[in-house]
């Protein structure tokens, strides 16, 4: 009898015994190309000075109070965004960020107060994300830019979310899936009334470290990769792969429905030594410290990371060149992904798996309710 194994799409198929080759799914075997894809070579295809005025526009960003997100929010404010809503768990970090924007970016305190608003949310909890999503629909008449940025880094603990999903995956993928789909009708109506709208998703070059999505392990009560450091890194890579697959399936869905003026793209900010990297020391000891030290010497800055996000969120080039479902590295440079990140069968199955999990919590009509709540923005030329 022929052996049966599970394919990357989670479907049982007849095949010979499979031996995992970690090189087989890389986008290239050229070492220079891989170094470039991993963000160790910097390009400059966009400058923040090229950002058009954002007056009148509204943005929502997850994790906009810390790390790269704090710099993205700063740039949105500096370029005239009418309002930016920041979704995160920790309001104290938001208060610290407001001081940073005032003291380091020269923004007036009353201006920051007027143009920013914090919404507390646990992105790992589907119910919490659903609540905040609908709260935003009640507040907003338009939404020009959605930036799905927040992420749990590699963490030593293995836990499950309130809905029984591995926590890193729940926060980094599932939470953003819920938020984006609830807000999507408003994003679409904004694009219709005002010309275009953008969805920007933060991923990582570490997505290349995940060669499959085994859906059964996403709800495993225990680690599946043994040593905590290896397991945590794999779980993070898996969530970042999911970010790319989600963006590409979202792009396909928009195209299928004839929505041509909502541009969804995904980017790797770069090798940026933020506080999130401190967990590498917990997981790998001295080696983890060395990695962060190397990034401090050879990596990118938070401004570099934010520049790519702003390019995708605001540059007219995205609309002019019809950039959709693409993956970018620093700075504003389109790049290849791993082969599985291009597999639209896996992308569709991931979407369906996630939708099923969300439906169990929010109910069968959870996406349709968002459409019923969406106001019609006044049309402007």
The helix (run of H) or strand (run of E) holding residue 14 is strand 12-14
Distances (CA, A) of 305 to 38, 134, 160, 320, 360: 13, 30, 30, 22, 36
**Per-residue model confidence (pLDDT) at position 36:** 72
For 22-58, give one letter per residue: b (16+ CB within 10 A) or e: eeebbbeeeeeeeebbbbbebbebbeeeebeebeebb
Pairing of strands 58-62, 12-14: unpaired
Q: Which residues pair with 266 in a beta bridge?
A: 201, 327
**Per-residue model confidence (pLDDT) at position 50:** 98
Model confidence band, residue 271 (pLDDT cutoffs 50, 70, 90): confident
Region 255-280: mean pLDDT is 85
DSSP states along 240-265: HHHHHHHHHHHHHHHHHTT--SEEEE
Catalytic residues: 203, 236, 240
For 261-273, give one letter per residue: b (16+ CB within 10 A) or e: bbbbbbbbbbbbb
**Per-residue model confidence (pLDDT) at position 348:** 98
Region 320-334: mean pLDDT is 97
Region 53-60: mean pLDDT is 98
Region 241-263: mean pLDDT is 98
d(CA 183, CA 85): 13
Judge whether 370 and 184 are in contact, CB under 8 Å. yes
Region 324-331: mean pLDDT is 96
* Cis peptide bond upstream of 331, omega within 30: yes
Residue 380 token pair: 């402007």
Place of tokens 């984006």: 180
d(CA 325, CA 219): 28
* Top-confidence residue, 34 or 353: 353
Q: Which residues pair with 264 in a beta bridge?
A: 199
pLDDT at 184 over 90: yes
**Per-residue model confidence (pLDDT) at position 14:** 33
> How many CB atoms lie under 10 A from the CB of residue 117?
15
Q: Which residues pair with 88 in a beta bridge?
A: 120
**Per-residue model confidence (pLDDT) at position 301:** 86
Distances (CA, A) of 19 to 5, 24, 206: 11, 11, 21
List, for residues 71-91, the tens digit of each pLDDT value: 999 999 999 999 999 999 999
Judge whether 116 and 240 are in contact, CB under 8 Å. no
Region 346-373: mean pLDDT is 88
pLDDT at 13 over 90: no
- Its pTM stands at 0.88
**Per-residue model confidence (pLDDT) at position 227:** 79
Rg of the Cα atoms in the chain: 20
Residue 96 token pair: 């610290």
For 176-185, give one letter per residue: b (16+ CB within 10 A) or e: bbbbbbbbbb
Model confidence band, residue 3 (pLDDT cutoffs 50, 70, 90): very low
d(CA 5, CA 2): 10
pLDDT at 381 over 50: no
DSSP states along 274-328: -GGGGHHHHHHTHHHHHHHHHHHHHS--HHHHHHHHHHHHH-HHHHHTT--S-EE
> How many CB atoms lie under 10 A from the CB of residue 128?
18
Region 144-170: mean pLDDT is 96
Arithmetic mean of pLDDT over the chain: 87
- Please list, in sequence order, all residues whose beta carbon lies within 8 angstroms of the beta carbon of residue 114, skipping any fewer than 6 positions away: none
Residue 3 token pair: 């052996």
What phi and psi, each to the nearest 5 degrees, are found at residue 117?
-145, 135
d(CA 67, CA 301): 10
**Per-residue model confidence (pLDDT) at position 15:** 36
Region 197-222: mean pLDDT is 95
């Amino acid at each position: 009898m022929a052996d049966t194994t599970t394919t990357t799409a989670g479907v049982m198929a007849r095949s010979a015994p499979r031996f995992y080759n970690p090189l087989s799914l890389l986008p290239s075997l050229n070492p220079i190309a891989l170094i470039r894809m991993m963000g160790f070579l910097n390009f400059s295809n966009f400058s923040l000075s090229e950002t058009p005025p954002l007056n009148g526009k509204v943005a929502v960003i997850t994790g906009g109070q810390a790390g790269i997100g704090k710099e993205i929010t700063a740039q949105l404010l500096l370029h005239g965004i009418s309002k930016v809503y920041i979704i995160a768990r920790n309001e104290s970090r938001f208060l610290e960020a407001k001081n940073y924007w005032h003291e380091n970016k020269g923004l007036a305190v009353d201006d920051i107060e007027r143009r920013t608003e914090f919404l507390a949310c646990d992105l790992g909890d589907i119910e919490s994300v659903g609540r905040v999503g609908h709260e935003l629909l009640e507040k907003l008449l338009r939404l020009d830019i959605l930036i799905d940025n927040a992420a749990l880094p590699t963490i030593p603990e293995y836990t499950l979310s309130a809905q029984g999903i591995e926590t890193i995956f729940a926060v980094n993928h599932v939470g953003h899936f819920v938020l984006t789909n609830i807000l999507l009708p408003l994003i679409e109506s904004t694009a219709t009334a005002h010309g275009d709208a953008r969805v920007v998703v933060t991923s990582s070059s570490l997505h290349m470290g995940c060669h499959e999505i085994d859906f059964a392990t996403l709800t495993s009560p225990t680690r599946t990769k043994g040593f905590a450091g290896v397991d945590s890194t794999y779980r993070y890579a898996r969530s970042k792969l999911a970010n790319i697959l989600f963006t590409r399936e979202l792009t396909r869905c928009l195209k299928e429905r004839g929505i041509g003026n909502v541009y969804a793209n995904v980017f790797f900010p770069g090798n940026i030594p933020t506080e999130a990297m401190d967990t590498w020391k917990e997981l790998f000891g001295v080696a983890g410290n060395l990695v962060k030290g190397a990034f401090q010497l050879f990596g990118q800055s938070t401004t570099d990371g934010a520049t790519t996000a702003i390019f995708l969120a605001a540059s007219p080039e995205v609309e002019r060149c019809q950039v959709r479902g693409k993956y970018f590295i620093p700075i504003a440079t389109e790049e290849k992904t791993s082969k599985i990140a291009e597999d639209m069968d896996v992308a569709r199955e991931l979407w369906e798996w996630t939708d099923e999990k969300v439906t169990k919590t929010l109910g069968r009509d959870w996406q349709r309710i968002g459409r019923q709540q969406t106001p019609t923005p006044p049309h402007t030329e």
